[in-house]
């Protein structure tokens, strides 16, 4: 018997249907020589400090650093996990072969390896490695099963990452909290979290320190075209006025007219970060939400594996592109020009050297039906980007006109699209224009030496502060370890030194929000005073440097390639933690008292003070902190507020638990949500609308055994 272990029940069902395991059992499906079972994402975790020794139960400065002699794993403390693990444990003890069907990435490898390690599996293990969940991909994957040891380096990198995060996170958080914090304040330090916060704080300080300055520019209109003087900005009005008087005394003369034709290269296919950036710019979706939507599309077989960091396709995919294009029937009008000719093997699209475990995110060709509005938008971004990659380049004409008035030089530039090429894909999309991209501006033809009257003027302006981070620009900064990079090829080169991984960056940003180190105002991200105080307290540069964290990330990637030893990386981190502990224990930094930075809470307190006492007594206490501090009832991870739609598990990809703010036609109160989490049910209420019929009923909202919401009398 062969035992297949998938990462989710839904994926297990898809696999079982294809390989003929159709008999339902308790915790698995069986048939045709296979038993197909599943996890719900992470079943195991690294042991906590108190699991090693009682001395590490309490947070004491003298107990640091905590360096376990060897790192162990344990099951997550959850009844559902324990029950399903027993099923897996029993199956692998009796089988002839295990097929690891986890997600084909570093996290998926780690999840499955830890489960097999905990289950003391001795059977030979094969690996199913696929880039989509379509029937064709699964069948092909089973025909080409890999030996599990081909992915030992991937597992080593995942283990090294987890151990590194434990060593630094556990030690540094306790170290700074016991040394510098007061009261019950916890100063949370993380290998990726802290340098990310440091970038935001540095930008915040630049913005706070910025003082706007007035300036004046000389401009003039000649033949209905406005030219700008190419001299330094004038900082004194009197000088600008003298310049204006000078311009009025001289005619305008054209000194040069140059028109060059050029091309605008096609946009690259999406990697996860690129998709998150585009979705944030276009729809203001958070990185976390975009990851959720694209993961759903992957599980619905509509797109390929999304947790990728490459914008290229492997060369063996080239023969399949035409078929995928033909299957994109909703986009038939756009794909027709591509399909009219053989698909070109473009170097900007196909490159085996730029593809590691997976290729860029592309559609599978499965018809996209039954999608919600958010998933539709994300699918549309992926589909259009895929089609645009195979269109001709956009041909443009750039015009530069130079002139002078007396001795003052002037300039104007123009741009004209000669052949739109790939821009045809976005012709009706007003939001598709790249940030900072100039509008098309057609200039008249000028002749060098021509001269004539003009209309000069003074333009008054103010210098602008540095721009605050948005999630889009923060993701790019994480990807390039804080370097400002616009060039696609240079960005590709810097990815190995980025901080975090595409699949983890969204969660890092959400963690900073949850801990109230950062906040969002419209689309912009700002550091709170709490976040600023924390970074100011950390004097050790290695903890907050994006560049140094990027070096660690590069070493993790080298481990994945088999070019760096996991044990070496671990010993380097152990030594760093020892050195850090010695430095901080003897340091004489300031001691900070963090006051929660919650302007909204202050406003609520003011409103409360203005109400009559009777109203104030009956006012419901704030529940937001209570809810976010409770555990996910399914897997015991912490909860996150998912925008304005739901509370969900921080480990949502694996767990899938969430409570929408509105369900069965009613908006839930904070108390009802808190009751669901604590008791598994709310009080009785009227007006629940049954799905499908819309019939209103009275009853209690409850969580059933599968952690789904239902109404009970």
CATH number at residue 116: 3.40.50.140
- Pair (405, 259) in one structural domain: yes
Q: Within a domain: residue 64?
A: yes
pLDDT recorded at residue 491 = 59
H or E element, residue 233: none
- Pair (288, 198) in one structural domain: no
- Pair (383, 440) in one structural domain: no
CA separation for the pair 648, 185 (Å, rounded): 25
Task: Give pLDDT < 70 ranges for the chain.
Answer: 428-439, 482, 484-496, 588-630, 636-638, 641-644, 650-654, 691-694, 705-706
pLDDT recorded at residue 617 = 33
- Pair (523, 493) in one structural domain: yes
- Pair (519, 653) in one structural domain: no
Q: Within a domain: residue 151?
A: no
Last residue of a domain, one of 144, 178, 198: 144
Q: Which residues of 573-596 are buried (b: 16+ CB within 10 A; e: fewer)?
A: bbebbeebbeebeeeeeeebebee
Q: Within a domain: residue 592?
A: no
- Pair (581, 489) in one structural domain: yes
Q: Within a domain: residue 598?
A: no
- Pair (704, 640) in one structural domain: yes
411 phi and psi angles, rounded to 5 deg: -155, 150
CA separation for the pair 66, 487 (Å, rounded): 43
Q: Within a domain: residue 149?
A: no
From residue 71, give the alpha-carbon distance in Å to each of 59, 157, 159.
20, 15, 10
- Pair (434, 488) in one structural domain: no
Report, in this order, helix, strand and coil percent for the chain, each rounded to 5.
Answer: 45, 20, 35
- Which of the 8 DSSP states describes residue 586? T
Q: Within a domain: residue 150?
A: no
Q: Within a domain: residue 152?
A: no
- Pair (107, 10) in one structural domain: yes
Q: How many domains does the chain have?
A: 5
pLDDT recorded at residue 660 = 85
Between the two ends of the chain, the Cα-to-Cα distance in Å is 45
CA separation for the pair 623, 268 (Å, rounded): 44
* Alpha-helical runs (H) found in 666-711: 670-679
pLDDT recorded at residue 512 = 93
The closest of 215, 225, 247, 240 to 456, measured between CA atoms, is 247
Task: Kindly tell me the burial class for residue 462, based on how many C-beta atoms sit within 10 Å of its own C-beta (0-12, 13-18, 19 or more).
Answer: exposed
Task: Give the full edge-to-edge strand order of the sheet including 685-689.
Answer: 685-689, 696-703, 709-712
Which residue spans within 371-423 are E strands per DSSP? Answer: 394-405, 408-419
H or E element, residue 3: strand 2-6
The bridge status of strand 408-419 relative to strand 225-229 is antiparallel
CATH code where residue 440 lies: 2.70.20.10
- Pair (139, 7) in one structural domain: yes
Adjacent-strand bridge partners of 147: 126
Q: Within a domain: residue 597?
A: no
From residue 54, give the alpha-carbon distance in Å to each of 50, 60, 65.
6, 12, 15
Range of the domain at 683: 607-712
Q: Which candidate in 293, 298, 305, 379 is catalytic?
A: 305
CATH code where residue 379 lies: 1.10.290.10
- Pair (12, 121) in one structural domain: yes
Last residue of a domain, one of 428, 462, 496: 462
- Pair (515, 549) in one structural domain: yes
Last residue of a domain, one of 553, 585, 617: 585
Please confirm, yes or no, whether 151 is among the known catalytic residues: no
Show the CA angle centred on residue 184, arms to residues 181 and 189, nearest 5°: 55
CATH code where residue 480 lies: 1.10.460.10
């Amino acid at each position: 018997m062969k035992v297949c272990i998938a990462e989710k029940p839904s994926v297990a069902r898809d696999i079982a249907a294809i390989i003929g395991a159709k008999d339902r059992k308790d915790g698995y499906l069986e048939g045709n020589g296979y038993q197909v079972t599943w996890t719900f994402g992470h079943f195991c975790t690294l042991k906590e400090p108190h699991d090693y020794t009682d001395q590490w139960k309490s947070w004491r400065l003298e107990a640091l650093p905590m360096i376990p002699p060897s790192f162990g794993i344990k099951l997550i403390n959850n009844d559902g996990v324990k029950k399903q693990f027993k099923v897996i444990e029993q199956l692998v003890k009796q089988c002839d072969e295990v097929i690891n069907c986890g997600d084909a990435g570093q996290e998926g490898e780690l999840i499955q390896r830890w489960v097999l390690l905990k289950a003391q599996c001795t059977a030979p293990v094969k690996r199913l490695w696929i880039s989509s969940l379509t029937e064709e991909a699964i069948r092909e994957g089973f025909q080409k099963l890999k030996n599990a040891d081909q992915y030992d380096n991937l597992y080593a990198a995942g283990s090294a990452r987890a151990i590194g995060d434990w060593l630094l996170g556990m030690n540094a958080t306790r170290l700074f909290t016991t040394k510098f914090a007061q009261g019950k304040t916890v100063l949370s330090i993380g290998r990726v979290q802290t340098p990310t916060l440091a970038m935001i704080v540095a930008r915040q300080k630049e913005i706070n320190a910025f003082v706007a300055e007035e300036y004046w520019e000389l401009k003039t209109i000649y033949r209905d075209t406005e030219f700008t003087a190419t001299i330094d900005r004038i900082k004194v009005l009197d000088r600008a006025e003298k310049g204006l008087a000078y311009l009025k005394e001289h005619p305008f003369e054209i000194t040069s007219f140059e028109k060059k034709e050029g091309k605008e290269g096609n946009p690259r296919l999406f990697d996860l970060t690129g998709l998150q950036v585009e979705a944030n710019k276009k729809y203001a979706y958070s990185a976390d939400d975009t990851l959720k939507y694209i993961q759903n599309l992957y599980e619905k077989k509509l797109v390929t594996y999304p947790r990728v960091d490459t914008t290229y396709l492997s060369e063996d995919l080239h023969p399949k592109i035409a078929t995928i294009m033909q299957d994109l029937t909703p986009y038939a009008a756009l794909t027709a020009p591509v399909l009219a000719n053989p698909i070109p093997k473009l170097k900007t699209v196909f490159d085996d050297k730029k593809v590691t475990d997976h290729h860029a995110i592309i559609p599978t060709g499965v018809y996209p039906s039954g999608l919600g509005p958010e998933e539709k938008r994300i699918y549309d971004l992926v589909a259009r980007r895929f089609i645009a990659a195979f269109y001709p380049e956009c041909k443009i004409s750039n015009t530069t006109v130079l002139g002078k008035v007396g001795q003052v030089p002037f300039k104007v530039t123009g741009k004209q699209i000669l052949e739109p090429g790939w821009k045809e894909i976005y012709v009706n999309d007003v939001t598709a224009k790249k940030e900072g991209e100039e509008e098309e501006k057609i200039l008249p033809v000028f002749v060098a030496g021509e001269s004539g009257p003009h209309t000069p003027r003074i333009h008054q302006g103010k210098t602008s502060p540095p721009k605050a981070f948005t999630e889009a620009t923060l993701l790019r900064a994480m990807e390039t370890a804080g370097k400002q990079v616009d060039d696609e090829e240079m960005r590709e080169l810097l990815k190995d030194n980025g901080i975090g991984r595409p699949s983890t960056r969204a969660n890092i940003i959400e963690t900073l929000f949850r801990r109230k180190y950062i906040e969002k105002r419209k689309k912009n991200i700002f550091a709170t005073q709490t976040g600023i105080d924390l970074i100011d307290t950390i004097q050790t540069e290695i903890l907050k440097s994006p560049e140094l964290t990027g070096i660690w990330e590069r070493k993790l990637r080298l481990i994945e390639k088999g070019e760096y030893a996991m044990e070496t990386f671990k010993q380097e981190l152990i030594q760093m933690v020892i050195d850090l502990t010695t430095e901080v224990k003897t340091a004489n930094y300031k001691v900070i008292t963090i006051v929660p930075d919650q302007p909204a809470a202050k406003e609520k307190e003011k409103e409360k003070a203005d109400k009559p006492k009777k109203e104030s007594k009956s006012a419901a206490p704030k529940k937001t902190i209570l809810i976010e501090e409770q555990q996910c009832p399914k897997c015991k991870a912490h909860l996150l507020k998912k925008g304005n739609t739901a509370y969900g598990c921080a480990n949502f990809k694996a767990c899938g638990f969430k409570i929408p703010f509105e369900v069965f036609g009613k908006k839930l109160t904070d108390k009802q949500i808190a009751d669901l989490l604590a008791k598994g049910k709310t009080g009785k209420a009227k007006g629940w609308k049954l799905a499908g019929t819309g019939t209103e009923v009275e009853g209690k909202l409850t969580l059933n055994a599968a952690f789904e919401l239902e109404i009970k009398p």
